[in-house]
């Protein structure tokens, strides 16, 4: 098996003027970026435009762009500022509040995921209800931490808050979700009995 | 015998990279790993299920992009870039845009300085790899059973194989390779020590069997028309040599056979009434206050390996527990651990040293 070229190697080539390297970076991170952008509840076309602009600017500014520890983090962070800029311009929205989509997957393939169907359906729906009650910033932090696997430090930088606040968001969100859990399985057992 | 990850909370499992990869990519190989994982840690099923539910909710809607869509997007972006380069700077670069760019660049610099110290070049693995190659070439061992009884073969990774009469097994003498591989002619019952980072492969002329840690039987004698894999515990994947990409997943009490001439595959439940109940693949090793000497007798018989111990000293020792599917030496080790004894292998014989039990 050939090892794929690492991100930071591509990054270096792109800054030296290699268009194909930037192309590969696009290919590699497009899905991640689009998925993240869509979470802000803006339509697909707008997200795709933001991504396009992001890469266009990366190219134009390649001589001023620095090396980066994580290309993925760099791109997500840039996309975030593009999206927020768009929201500011188009929707005149105030600084603080962004939206965060919590829509569920169409279906859960419990068998593939090695979980029980009933557990899956019940817990997933219950959790979604809980997630909806969280502030959008906490939802975003959860996503960046447990879906994109970013570090607390990286998240703090993206969301323009200090690290302690991110840790707090995460802890608060998790413990809120966990507390409900203690009730949920019991409820489920009762449901199956009656 | 520990499988990583070994989380104590849902959050810990959610943070684990192997877990995240499994949830995102859902490959067959990862599925095998997590099945095995749940089998090894039945008490962590709840944590697992909660983590899965949590992940699904955090992940949200599935995206609908195909790889083709992505190639297309890439082409569009590259095209845009090319136009841009030829026609110099356009109106796109108005002041608002420039501000955004500046913010991005500054943050980029900050990250870079912050992490620069961590980003050290990695040259070390190259040397280890070439060492491994050296070992791979040299140290293969072959054991043939020319006796009239089954015999146990102890592999360097602590797995054990009960090799039937007229069968032979070739294996590597060293354990420090990326995967564990053995070549079998004839029939063997495998109890594989758990190590999902090093999958265990059994190659025969017609079938390849892949496991992560489990017990199963493989039969593939030259001159016989059918080759067979039968699973006692855990999960194994079986691939015909003729079509290595067609893998079949077998679970306990299932078997797969292949007709050698036609390559026809038959998957079925193992027969309800076993042909020969004394065959090790059909035996139970579950005990409740059983006399240790009785257990040792059974092991001696099943594995055809002499076990030497002082009957009188052990007369008061009992053992309660489940030793199914553990490799031979692991069974011995666990028994010795409970009765505070030690064991050694001397001249192809297990010798147990004990002070007796109170």
Q: Can you give the pLDDT at residue A180?
A: 59
Please indicate, yes or no, if residue B167 is contained in any of the structural domains: yes
Return the H-helix or E-strand segment holding B290: strand B286-291
Is residue B358 a part of any domain in this protein? no
Q: What is the pLDDT, as a whole number, of residue B115?
A: 38
- Tell me the count of A-B CB pairs closer than 8 A: 166
Q: What is the interface pTM, i.e. ipTM, of the complex?
A: 0.87
In a domain, B123, yes or no: no
Is B265 in the same domain as B177?
A: yes
Question: Which candidate in B46, B57, B120 is best for mutational testing of the A interface (most A CBs within 10 A)?
Answer: B57
Instruction: Determine contact, residues B258/B219, Cβ cutoff 8 Å.
Output: no
What per-residue string of b and e applies to B75-100 under the rule 16 or more CB within 10 Å gives b? eebbeebeebeeeeeeeeeeeebeeb
Nearest to B108 among A27, A74, A178 (CB): A74
- Total count of residues recorded for chain A: 194
Pick left, alpha or beta for residue B265 (phi over 0 → left; psi -120 to 50 → alpha; otherwise beta). Answer: beta
The answer, yes or no, to whether residue A193 has pLDDT greater than 50, is: no
C-alpha–C-alpha distance, residues B270 and B237, integer Å: 16
Residue % of chain A over a pLDDT of 70: 85
Identify the burial level of B53 via C-beta atoms within 10 angstroms of its C-beta, where 0-12 means exposed, 13-18 middle and 19 or more buried.
buried
Provide the percentage of residues in chain B whose pLDDT is more than 70. Answer: 80
Give the H or E element holding residue A36: helix A19-38
Q: How many Cβ atoms are within 10 Å of B315's Cβ, its own excluded?
A: 12
**Distance in angstroms (rounded) separating the CA atoms of residues B88 and B81:** 11
pLDDT at B213: 61
Instruction: Please check whether residue B131 lies inside any domain of the structure.
Output: no
**Higher pLDDT residue, A53 or B213?**
A53
* Residue B276: predicted pLDDT: 59
Do B317 and B247 share a structural domain?
Answer: no
CA separation for the pair B190, A184 (Å, rounded): 42
Banded model confidence at residue B219, pLDDT cuts 50, 70, 90: confident
Greater pLDDT, A92 or A128: A128
Average pLDDT in the B39-61 region?
89
Rounded mean pLDDT, A19-33? 94
Q: How confident is the model at residue B92 (pLDDT cuts 50, 70, 90)?
A: very low
Residue of B nearest to A35 (CA): B63
| pLDDT greater than 70 at residue B103 | no
Q: Which of A115, A145, A155 to mutate to test the interface with B (most CBs of B within 10 A)?
A: A115
CA-nearest of B23, B11, B55, B57 to A102 is B57
Query: Considering CB atoms only, which of B55, B82, B103 is closest to A81?
Result: B103
Closest chain B CA to residue A20:
B78
Q: In this structure, what token pair is assigned to residue A118?
A: 């009933």
Residue B312 lies in a domain: yes
Interface probe, candidates A60, A81, A151, A154, chain B, greatest B C-beta count within 10 A: A60
Please report the pLDDT score of residue A51 as a whole number.
94
What is the number of structural domains in chain B?
Answer: 4
Regarding whether B248 and B329 lie in a shared domain, the answer is: no
Among A144, A142, A117, A115, smallest CA distance to A128 is for: A142
CATH number of the domain encompassing residue B313: 3.55.50.30
Q: Which fold has domain A1-99?
A: Rna Polymerase Sigma Factor; Chain: A (1.10.1740)
Buried b (16+ CB within 10 A) or exposed e, B279-307: bbbbbebebeebebbebbebbeebbbbeb
Interchain contact B27–A (C-beta under 8 A) = no
Q: Is residue B2 part of a domain?
A: no
Domain boundaries, chain A: 1-99, 100-194
- B159 and B238 share one domain: yes
State pLDDT tens for residues A149-184: 999 999 999 998 899 989 988 888 888 777 655 555
Range picked from A163-177, B86-100, B205-219, B225-239 for highest mean pLDDT:
A163-177
Q: Which residues of A touch B11 (CB under 8 A)?
A: 174
Report pLDDT for A181.
57
pLDDT tens-digit readout, B141-171: 888 888 888 888 888 888 888 888 888 999 8
Mean pLDDT of all residues in B291-303: 89
Residue B196's pLDDT is 67
**What confidence tier does B208 reach under pLDDT thresholds 50, 70, 90?**
confident
Mean pLDDT of B170-185: 83
CB < 8 Å from A in window 85-104 of B: 85, 89, 92-93, 96-97, 100-101, 103-104
For residue B104, the enclosing domain spans 67-118
CA distance B60 to chain A (A): 5
- Choose the CATH number for A100-194 among 3.40.50.300, 3.30.1300.10, 1.10.10.10, 1.20.1740.10: 1.10.10.10
DSSP H or E stretch at residue A158: helix A152-159
Q: Is the pLDDT of residue B21 over 60?
A: yes
**Average pLDDT for residues A3-10, to the nearest whole number?**
82
C-alpha dist (Å) from residue A60 to A17, B144, B323: 10, 69, 66
Round the average pLDDT of chain A to a whole number and report it.
Answer: 83
Going by pLDDT thresholds of 50, 70 and 90, the confidence category of residue B79 is confident
Per-range mean pLDDT, top range of A155-159, B210-214, B224-228:
A155-159
Q: Which of B190, B255, B181 is nearest to B216 (CA)?
A: B190
Instruction: Give the 3-state secondary structure of residue A56.
Output: helix
* Cα within 13 Å of Cα(A165), Cβ side: 12
Could you tell me if B194 and B258 lie in one domain? Answer: yes
CA–CA gap between residue A173 and residue A130 (Å, rounded): 9
Q: Judging by beta carbons within 10 Å of its beta carbon (0-12, 13-18, 19+), is residue A176 exposed, middle or buried? A: middle
d(CA A51, CA A108): 29
- Angle at CA of residue A166, ends A33 and A134, nearest 5°: 80
Tell me whether domains A1-99 and A100-194 share a fold. no
Interstrand relation of B307-308 and B350-353 (parallel, antiparallel or unpaired): parallel
Structure tokens at B87: 């026609």
For residue B5, tell me if it sits in a domain: no
Q: Say yes or no to pLDDT of B121 above 60.
A: no
**B99 and B39 within one domain:** no
pLDDT confidence of B84, banded at 50, 70, 90?
A: low
Q: Are residues B250 and B291 in the same domain?
A: no
B35 and A CB contact within 8 Å: yes
- CATH number of residue B160's parent domain: 2.60.120.1440
Please give the Cα distance from A54 to B73 (Å, whole number).
13
Q: What is the pLDDT of residues A61-98, one digit of tens each?
A: 888 888 888 999 999 999 999 898 888 776 655 555 67
Residues B179 and B205 in one domain: yes
Ranges A117-126, B122-131, B216-225, B248-257: which has the least confidence: B122-131
What is the C-alpha R_g of chain B? 27
- Alpha-carbon distance of A135 to B96, in angstroms, equals 29
For residues B264 and B155, membership in a common domain is answered with yes
Helix ranges, chain B (H): 10-15, 17-25, 28-40, 45-59, 67-86, 95-115, 124-138, 292-303, 328-338
Q: What is the pLDDT of residue B114?
A: 36
Q: Could you tell me if B214 and B321 lie in one domain? A: no
Look at residue B47 and tell me if it is in a domain: yes
Cα-Cα-Cα-Cα dihedral of B321, B323, B328, B332, to 10°?
0
CA angle A45, A46, A51 (to 5 degrees): 100
């Amino acid at each position: 098996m050939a090892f794929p070229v690492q991100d930071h190697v591509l990054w270096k080539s792109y800054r030296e003027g290699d268009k194909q390297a930037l192309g590969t970076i696009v290919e590699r991170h497009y899905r991640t970026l689009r998925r993240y952008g869509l979470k802000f509840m803006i339509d697909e076309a707008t997200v795709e435009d933001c991504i396009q602009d992001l890469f266009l600017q990366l190219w134009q500014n390649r001589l001023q762009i620095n090396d980066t520890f994580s290309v993925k983090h760099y791109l997500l962070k840039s996309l975030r500022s593009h999206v927020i800029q768009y929201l500011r311009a188009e929707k005149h929205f105030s600084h603080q509040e962004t939206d965060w989509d919590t829509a569920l997957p169409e279906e859960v393939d419990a068998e593939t995921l090695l979980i029980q169907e009933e557990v899956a359906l019940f817990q997933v729906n219950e959790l979604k209800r809980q997630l909806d009650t969280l502030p959008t910033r906490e939802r975003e932090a959860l996503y960046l931490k447990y879906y994109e696997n970013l570090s607390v430090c990286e998240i703090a930088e993206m969301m323009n808050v200090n690290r302690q606040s991110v840790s707090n968001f995460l802890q608060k969100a998790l413990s809120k979700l966990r507390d409900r859990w203690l009730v949920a399985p019991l409820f489920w057992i009762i449901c199956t009995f009656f | 015998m520990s499988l990583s990850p070994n989380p104590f909370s849902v959050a810990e499992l959610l943070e684990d990279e192997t877990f995240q990869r499994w949830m995102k990519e859902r490959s067959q190989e990862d599925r095998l790993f997590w099945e095995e994982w749940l089998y090894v840690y039945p008490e962590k099923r709840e944590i697992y299920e909660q983590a899965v539910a949590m992940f699904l909710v955090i992940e949200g809607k599935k995206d609908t992009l195909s790889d083709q869509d992505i190639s297309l997007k890439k082409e569009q972006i590259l095209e845009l870039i090319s136009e841009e380069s030829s026609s110099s700077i356009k109106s796109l670069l108005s002041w608002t845009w420039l501000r955004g760019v500046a913010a991005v660049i500054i943050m980029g610099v900050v990250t870079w300085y912050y992490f620069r110290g961590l980003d050290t070049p990695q040259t070390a693995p190259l040397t280890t790899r070439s060492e491994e190659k050296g070992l791979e070439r040299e140290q293969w061992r072959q054991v043939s059973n020319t006796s009239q009884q089954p015999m146990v073969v102890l592999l360097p990774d602590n797995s054990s194989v009960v090799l039937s009469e007229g069968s032979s097994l070739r294996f590597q003498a060293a354990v420090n390779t990326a995967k564990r591989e053995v070549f079998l002619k004839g029939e063997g019952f495998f109890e594989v020590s758990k190590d999902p980072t090093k999958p265990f492969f059994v190659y025969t002329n017609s079938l390849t069997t892949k496991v992560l840690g489990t017990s199963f039987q493989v039969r593939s004698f030259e001159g016989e028309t059918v080759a067979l894999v039968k699973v006692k515990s855990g999960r194994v994947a079986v691939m015909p040599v003729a079509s290595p990409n067609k893998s079949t997943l077998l679970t306990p009490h299932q078997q797969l056979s292949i007709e050698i001439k036609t390559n026809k595959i038959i998957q079925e439940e193992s027969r309800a009434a076993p042909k020969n109940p004394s065959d090790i693949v059909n035996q139970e090793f579950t005990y409740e206050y059983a006399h240790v000497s009785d257990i040792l007798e059974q092991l001696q018989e099943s594995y055809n390996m002499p076990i030497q111990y002082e009957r009188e000293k052990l007369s008061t020792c009992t053992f309660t527990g489940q030793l199914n599917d553990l490799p031979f030496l692991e069974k011995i080790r666990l028994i010795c651990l409970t009765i505070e004894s030690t064991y050694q292998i001397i001249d192809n014989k297990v010798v147990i040293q004990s002070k007796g039990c109170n």
